[in-house]
Chains A and B, each alone.
Chain A
């Protein structure tokens, strides 16, 4: 696994409305090494505030020129600064970092489960799987608190996914959490849960609920976690989560270096 520290030039930094942006740049080395689920550490300031780089998952990699898309939401001063950067500006990035998703075995159906912005890394996975040109079934279960917060359903459809939506307020798709949507999907006639694998990303309570549903149906799966990070490369031990290790012993793992992708059953959700 090779990572690079590069200065890249912003190609575009498009406002998708509702506080979301999609930033693009080209780097053949980073794109060539990147796999779905990995992330980048991006320097968002020129000076000392904010001091630390910000981790962003890779939303997509495409084309011969190594184009990389980063989908992000303005949440604080770091992402706000990033959203103001025009095309042509130099951006310092380190990546790709972390362990990506283990790709599904041949023929196994895929269920992507996204809570809000959790769709960001799952889209890269969807487009990689679409490039296989196999007959694999790929479902994308996208959830959000309301209609405006649903993340890129049209793009998932265009990437060959069967898209199902849920919103907490019922403004679009089925009403309720996306974990509930997953539950009813796995219960629906003709679906054999053991023939699928789940890839999930979103807020921690949503992932915990997804892990519970996956466990209930005996479906294997993975989740990609988000964390505040200082270094992003496994050195500072700052971004740890509690995990259930063999023998029930409590242990910590680094989201940046041991993750950000974990088996759904590995995090000790009750202690997070």
Chain B
């Protein structure tokens, strides 16, 4: 059989393989560089950075749940200045596209300022707009919602505003904590987002009956891991059929088969998240596993794989 083509285009960014990592689960990549060759990844997605340093939420910040975990880290990060000075140089040495995830807790101006800064940064291949972190509160979303990604209008306005200041590839990270994720994805597409990434964590809680306290410091946190995978696959499938921009699928990927679920549901690429904690070289295993599956099942390209789902029984 002829060569297997695993490359995928997302906006202006070319991924060598359809596998990246979810922001916040891979640090700034240096933490993982001793466990596998990072160049095998299609892209590295860095931990969400904000304009100013953020201390993050009070511990405990994580707890284990059935087939998953809750976190309430709260976007702890050193701020964009330190990120560009201390974290980016390491990544630049790897010749792997870097998706820089950004967020703001106040208003759109902070996102715009961050996007401006990154527009000048040669090493940043794409900007991920993290408008769906459940552990911080936004002031721009309409009353009754706390996330930009819970409001199609707010999503549209933010993406449009960022689009106006950068030519970099824009990826909008969506929240599953909505009634209709397709309408939010459509708003991001209409405003000029090059791709959507889904899903961020599902809000959740866990209470220790003996202490009668929440198992995490912030009381409510974000659920991730295999427990959320069916929800994520369903949302990726729905969104992929309704928008024409690429979808990066994620949520509970912990082996090759679970990554393939997302690609078959229509994702152009997948991101390994909590799975990175289970095995630091999991993304490497999945890249190889996808290639192997494509060879065995005669899929010459990722776009063929994306259309490979069967419906008739």
Contacts and interface: CB of A to CB of B under 8 A. Distances in A.
A230 B69 CA distance: 8
A228 B62 contact: yes
Contacts of A53: 277-278
Contact of A235 (B55, B63, B225, B277): B277
Interface string B177-206: 000000000000000000000000000000
A10 interface: no
Interface stretch (B12-20, B23-31, B166-174): B23-31
B69 A48 contact: no
Contacts of B66: 49
Given A2-B34, A51-B225, A236 B279 contact: no
A49 B67 contact: yes
Most buried by B among A43, A51, A228, A240: A51
A3 B34 contact: yes
Interface in A224-272: 228-242, 250-252, 257
A5 interface: yes
B277 to A, nearest CB: 4
Contacts of B226: 48, 51
B276 A228 contact: no
Contacts of B67: 48-49, 51
A241 B66 CA distance: 25
B62 A235 contact: no
B76 A228 contact: no
Contact of A238 (B73, B276, B278): B73
B55 A238 contact: no
Nearest to A241: B59
B280 interface: yes
Contacts of A234: 27, 31
If over half of B's interface residues share one DSSP class (helix, strand or loop), that class is named, otherwise mixed; here it is loop
A230 B55 contact: no
B56 A94 contact: no
Given A92-B279, A235-B276, A252-B76, A51 B68 contact: yes
A240 B276 contact: no
A50 interface: yes
Contacts of B279: 5, 43, 92
Chain A interface size, as a band, is 20 to 34
B146 interface: no
Contacts of B47: 235, 237
Given A236-B24, A236-B277, A240-B61, A51 B31 contact: no
Given A92-B279, A230-B277, A240-B59, A52 B64 contact: yes
Contacts of B254: 48
B281 interface: yes
A78 to B, nearest CB: 9
Minimum-distance CB pairs A-B, first 4: A235-B27, A238-B62, A231-B277, A48-B67
25 contacts: A5-B35, A43-B278, A48-B67, A48-B254, A50-B64, A51-B67, A51-B68, A51-B69, A52-B64, A228-B64, A230-B71, A230-B277, A233-B280, A234-B31, A235-B25, A235-B27, A235-B277, A236-B25, A236-B62, A236-B73, A237-B47, A237-B61, A238-B71, A239-B62, A252-B56
Given A51-B67, A228-B63, A251-B55, 14 more contacts: A3-B34, A43-B278, A48-B226, A51-B64, A51-B226, A52-B69, A53-B278, A94-B280, A233-B32, A234-B27, A235-B26, A235-B31, A235-B47, A236-B73
